[in-house]
Amino acid sequence: MQEPSDQDKQETVLVTRRDVLKMAGVGAIGVLIGSAGVGGVLAATGKLSPSSSKSATAPSDEEIVPFYGTHQAGIITPAQDYICLAAFDLTTTKLSAVKELFQKWTLESARMSTGEFVGTENTNPNIPPTDTGEAAGLSPSRTTITFGVGPTFFDHRFGLASKRPAALADIPPFAGDNLRPEWSGGDICVQVCADDMQVAFHAIRNLTRLARGTAVLRWTQEGFQRAGKSARTKDETPRNLLGFKDGTVNPDTKDANKMNQTVWAQSSDGAPWITNGSYLVVRRIRMRIEVWDRTILSEQEATFGRYRDSGAPLGAVNEFDKLPLDQKDSSGKSIIPDRSHVRLSHGDGSEEILRRGYSYSSGVDHKTGQLDAGLLFICYQRDPRKQFIPMQKRLAQSDKLNEYISHNGSAIFACFAGAKQGGYIGEGLF
């Protein structure tokens, strides 16, 4: 049998490419190439290659957080080391297109949470891969992908105004806010957390590709905690960039009743579609690190109301000791100062939130020559009107910590309930 010439081989490749281009011109299939990748086209023609996995070694159970369930993962899930948080603006006015986007996002998020490639066409040399490839060979890294929608999602575009929950209230302006539009708002939020930043970035990147033609990025912010491997003890409370422990007073996520009271939206709250979901508030808080670094330790501790070393409340011994709010010193002053962060955030103890904050560092602010670094404050709750908003009003008015911080980003989102196998995120709303 005669071997094909080089010219024959070249013509064979060219015919294959022409075939793909012909398929791209057929109605809705052409749209799929722009938004979902050519893999979707080939699936329709029966020419898909076998699905590929990112790693020949099966990941362990500890590396995988299940995507499907009653609640979305990434809310009460123990915090991973890194976060990529993204807000999207919708460019379509068709609800059917938004529904299709969430269906695609659900399918591919479930794949990525187990360490699989996005899509199923990643070996054909003649078409772009459906996965970007930078997470190949990496473990799932406890990836969680959490979705929510903002107040603007319920404007005139999709006919959903009547379904906007009352608890999805616009965050009011607070004293001292210095909000910037490039760090605020958004129709949709996607929170990706993982123990590997490259894995987290991979998820945001690929979800952005899938959204092409339907939604575009509005803003993104990456964040970090101390790496789990570097912590002296597994459950040690992380520290923020001011050197103090952050998240000491979080409610117990293992207490189901507490989570129903504090975090999870209930059917009695007035919006059935968000039952078993939650409300996410994001604040990008710039820290004036250079000023803080010149502040004496006793002043730092009085600002927080806690000892820096142990994390214990002033006047107490251990981090988780009860706040001695009524205790006075010899001069009659409160041991925990009246304007301290811990006293004002505690209030009367009725306004609890689940904090899930990360530090961020975004290089140098070239206007000031100082570091653009601080806290990506994230909290979940059942009703922000009764939890975050009154708490933040007190802090904005009197918190001594305001001398060292500036809030320059803000957003609120209603995060859906979890999806069932065969279903998709947001199904109850759409």
Write the DSSP assignment of 111-170 as a string of letters. HHHTTBPSSS--S-TTS--SS--TTTT---TT-EEEEEE-GGGGSTTTT-GGG--TTSPP
Instruction: State residue 230's pLDDT score.
Output: 65
Q: Is the Cβ–Cβ distance between 353 and 343 less than 8 Å?
A: no
- The continuous run of DSSP H or E covering 39 comes out as helix 38-45
Residue 71 three-state SS: strand
Instruction: State residue 109's pLDDT score.
Output: 98
For 201-256, give the DSSP string.
HHHHHHHHHHTTTTEEEEEEEEEE---GGGSSSTTPPPB-TTSSB--TT---TT-H
Return d(Cα 292, Cα 371) in angstroms, integer. Answer: 12
- The continuous run of DSSP H or E covering 280 comes out as strand 278-287
Return d(Cα 148, Cα 72) in angstroms, integer. Answer: 10
The two tokens of residue 340 are 């301290």
Return d(Cα 340, Cα 301) in angstroms, integer. Answer: 9
From first to last of its 430 residues, the chain has per-residue pLDDT tens of 444 444 444 433 333 333 433 333 333 333 333 333 433 333 333 332 334 444 446 788 889 999 999 999 999 999 999 999 999 999 999 999 999 999 999 999 999 999 999 999 999 999 999 999 999 999 999 999 999 999 999 999 999 999 999 999 999 999 999 999 999 999 999 999 999 999 999 999 999 999 999 999 999 999 999 766 766 676 789 999 999 999 899 999 999 999 999 999 999 998 999 999 999 999 999 999 999 999 999 999 999 999 999 999 999 999 999 999 999 998 999 999 999 999 999 999 999 999 999 999 999 999 899 999 999 999 999 999 999 999 999 999 999 999 999 999 999 999 999 999 999 999 999 9
Return d(Cα 47, Cα 269) in angstroms, integer. Answer: 48
**Residue among 195, 107, 113 nearest 423 (CA):** 107
The two tokens of residue 73 are 């993962």
The CA-based dihedral angle spanning residues 18, 21, 22, 25, taken in that order and rounded to the nearest 10 degrees: -160
Q: Is the Cβ–Cβ distance between 259 and 253 less than 8 Å?
A: yes
Instruction: State residue 61's pLDDT score.
Output: 81
Return d(Cα 407, Cα 277) in angstroms, integer. Answer: 26
Instruction: State residue 291's pLDDT score.
Output: 97
Domain positions in the chain: 19-48
The two tokens of residue 286 are 């710039």
Q: Is the Cβ–Cβ distance between 23 and 29 less than 8 Å?
A: yes
Query: How far lies 379's CA from each of 111, 215, 416, in Å?
Result: 26, 25, 15
Q: At CA 6, angle to CA 4 and CA 9, rounded to 5?
A: 65
Q: Determine the residue type at 146.
A: T
Q: Determine the residue type at 124.
A: N
Instruction: State residue 232's pLDDT score.
Output: 62
**Residue among 201, 225, 198, 274 nearest 78 (CA):** 225
The two tokens of residue 265 are 């939206």
Instruction: State residue 59's pLDDT score.
Output: 82
Q: Is the Cβ–Cβ distance between 37 and 124 less than 8 Å?
A: no
- Residue 128: partners with Cβ closer than 8 Å, 6 or more residues away: 37, 38
Instruction: State residue 293's pLDDT score.
Output: 98
CA 304 to chain centroid = 26
Burial 144-176 (b: 16+ CB within 10 A, else e): bbbbbbbbebbeebbebeebbbebbeebeebee
Q: Is the Cβ–Cβ distance between 224 and 358 less than 8 Å?
A: yes
Q: Indicate the length of the chain as a whole number.
A: 430
Query: How far lies 119's CA from each of 27, 50, 122, in Å?
Result: 21, 11, 8
Q: Is the Cβ–Cβ distance between 193 and 75 less than 8 Å?
A: no
Instruction: State residue 50's pLDDT score.
Output: 35
The two tokens of residue 245 are 């422990």
Return d(Cα 109, Cα 227) in angstroms, integer. Answer: 24
The two tokens of residue 389 are 């908003």
Q: Is the Cβ–Cβ distance between 76 and 262 less than 8 Å?
A: no
